Amino acid sequence: MQRTNFTVCTVCCAAVGDSDLAAVLRQVLPLIKSASSSEGSAGSGEAGLQVDELLAMLVFLYSLSGEALPGDGDQEERVERELIGALTLLLTQQTNLSPLLQSITGVLSPAELVMERAHSVLESVFTTLRGLGHARSHMKQLRSVYSPSDGVHQATYRPFIKQILEEIFHPDRPECPDIEHASSGLTDLLKTGFSMFMKVNRPHPSDHSVLILFLVGGVTPSEIRLVRDTVAAQKPGAQVLVFSTRLLRPADIPHLLFSTNRLVPDIGV
């Protein structure tokens, strides 16, 4: 990725907390048009972002869309239609298709990728992206992972996993409404029943000497390192075992979102 493209990507992400989603997405349009007008295919490495990179950036932006300022839904829809149109043109201009694009479109060569199919595929992609923007909307406390700049402090990103661990190992042991205790056994069921009439202290994750953190869908090496660093800062010496369904690379995220049946997930087994 060229330096100029990286700068524009950074600006787009930094604008999330200061603008509505439509304004942020408008900053992506020049990137797509630049890629479309540049010579060579998505895999050529020439000027302009590759389609895979654009999709990955959209995943990141939509995952933060809940942090954006409230906006006009009709305006967002218009901008999305422009993005779909620009991406459709870019997709049909490819002279070769990456494994991700082959998986998403269901074709192996650009000759098989007609305009109608490309447009239909991208409409499905944006349906998934919109759903991604609401992934944390049901949460009460851990809904936000982004703090916008306030003129004095820079915008900061607070990873979801880090927030969970900070809640678990907080010295004051606060009760987080988003971390639930699943009752099991007669004793726990009795406690749950009594809690309807009197205050009953529920078990806390930090009560135990070993914490098992299981990440469904996959975990990246950087997230494993984040767990280690967060635990070391919050409660040195605590034993945390991290399990997951698979080890992820950044390029795996768009593939899992757009080209797999999430009702029958491929967990790599």
Sign of the dihedral defined by the CA atoms of residues 34, 15, 249, 1, in that order: positive
Q: Which residue has the tokens 């149109």?
A: 85
pLDDT given at position 19: 77
pTM (predicted TM-score): 0.78
pLDDT given at position 157: 83
Q: Are 19 and 69 in contact (CB under 8 A)?
A: yes
Question: Could you read off the pLDDT of 215-268 as tens digits, one per residue?
Answer: 988 999 999 999 999 999 999 989 999 999 999 988 888 998 998 776 555 555
Q: Number of helices and strands (H, E) in the chain?
A: 11, 4
Enclosing H/E stretch for 186: helix 185-194
pLDDT tens for the 269 residues of the chain, in order: 444 444 455 555 556 666 788 888 998 898 898 888 764 444 444 456 889 999 999 998 898 887 777 777 788 899 999 999 999 999 999 999 999 999 999 999 999 999 999 999 999 999 999 988 888 888 889 888 887 777 777 778 889 999 999 999 998 888 888 888 776 655 555 555 545 555 556 778 888 889 999 998 899 999 999 999 999 999 998 999 999 999 998 888 899 899 877 655 555 55
3-state DSSP assignment of residue 214: strand
3-state DSSP assignment of residue 82: helix
CA distance 209 to 117: 54
Strand pairing report for 156-157 and 210-215: unpaired
Q: Are 113 and 105 in contact (CB under 8 A)?
A: yes
pLDDT given at position 70: 73
Enclosing H/E stretch for 157: strand 156-157
Q: Are 161 and 226 in contact (CB under 8 A)?
A: yes
CA distance 222 to 227: 9
Q: How many CB atoms lie within 10 A of CB 80?
A: 18
Phi, psi at residue 243, to the nearest 5°? -120, 155
pLDDT given at position 92: 93
Q: Which amino acid is at 123?
A: E
CA distance 196 to 216: 32
